[in-house]
Structure 1
Amino acid sequence: MATRLAASEDDLPANVDINITPFIDVILVLLIIFMVAAPLSTVDVPVELPVASADAAPRPAEPVFVTLTADLSLRVGDRAVTLADLPMELDIVTRMKRDTRLYISADRSVPYGEMMLVMNRMRGAGYLKIGLVGIDEAGTEAPTPPAVSAP
């Protein structure tokens, strides 16, 4: 039997450093896999959508317009109201008929949040049929609100 009695100088020291070469190889393989798989995961189907040519819904005899002007003043028809008084004024104009379609027209410069405050107040009062007034392709508004004069 052989035993070592003393440490000799020809022993190599223990290597405690991490070999990063296999790590880099794995990362490069994963990069190649994702580079190949990413374009395959997106669906690009060319679709030519048809132009909507449906006629507009029939306009009520006396539409109710809620107008939000550039200075954030609110009107129902031609009467100026506050946001707090809006549900009461709508009840008066619609004779408490909650299924009446209401039309909102707002200035282009009105912030989206202000428009949503008005719509939320209307929905909170029970008016769920709300239409937005905009300009159609021919350049005319549909439906056209009545002329509003400044007080």
Structure 2
Amino acid sequence: MAMGPILGSNRRGRRSPMAEINVTPMVDVMLVLLIIFMVTAPLLVAGVPVDLPETKAGALDQEAKPIQISVEGGGAVFVDDTAVPEGELGARLAQIAATSGEEGGPRIFLRADRGLDYGRVMAVMGEINAAGLRKVALVSTQGEAR
């Protein structure tokens, strides 16, 4: 602790303790918050890693949670983070359309890897259309179009 002079009745320089701020509790709280954010941040990202193309279009406003269909670089198809075998995609999409009470089905977000063959993406879109789902949006990242 630092000591400062106090001049009393005897006029000699006597030293007494000065008050200091202890920052250790604040540092402890900040470290706990940092750990919490480091643990929860990866959970907020979509489960299937896809290299999305870029576009100049803005983001869409959504009220209801859409169905996400992802197509990986290898061609594997996922419906809401669940892998769907290639032959069962039509049946799964027909089930989604049947359980939806909306006309045209629920909103579908199609996320396809940038390096995929155009025919593979069109095959998935054909399955979506054949199931009667009409509200389809293609997902991209915002940036300069190539």
TM (normalized to structure 1)? 0.49
Runs of 4+ in 1 over 3 A off after TM superposition: 91-94
Q: Judging changes above 3 Å, is the alpha-carbon distance between structure 1 residues 96 and 86 closer, same or farther for their aligned structure 2 residues?
A: farther
Identity across the alignment (%) = 27
Q: Give 1:62's aligned residue.
A: 65
Structure 1, unmatched stretches of 5+, are: 1-51, 139-151
Query: Number of paired residues?
Result: 86
TM (normalized to structure 2)? 0.51
- 8 Å contact from structure 1 (residues 99, 127) kept in 2: yes
Rg: which structure is higher?
1
Q: Give 1:101's aligned residue.
A: 107
- 8 Å contact from structure 2 (residues 94, 132) kept in 1: no
Distance 1:84 1:110 in 2: 19
Q: 1:110 aligns with which of 111, 116, 125?
A: 116
**Larger strand fraction of residues:** 2
Distance 1:61 1:69 in 2: 25
Q: Which has the higher contact order (CA 8 A, sep 6+)?
A: 2
Instruction: Tell me which amino acid in the other structure corresponds to 1:105.
Output: R
Instruction: Tell me which amino acid in the other structure corresponds to 1:79.
Output: T
Q: Give 1:126's aligned residue.
A: 132
CA displacement, residues 61-84 of structure 1 (integer Å, 9 cap, x when unaligned): 322100000110000001110233
Structure 2, unmatched stretches of 5+, are: 1-55
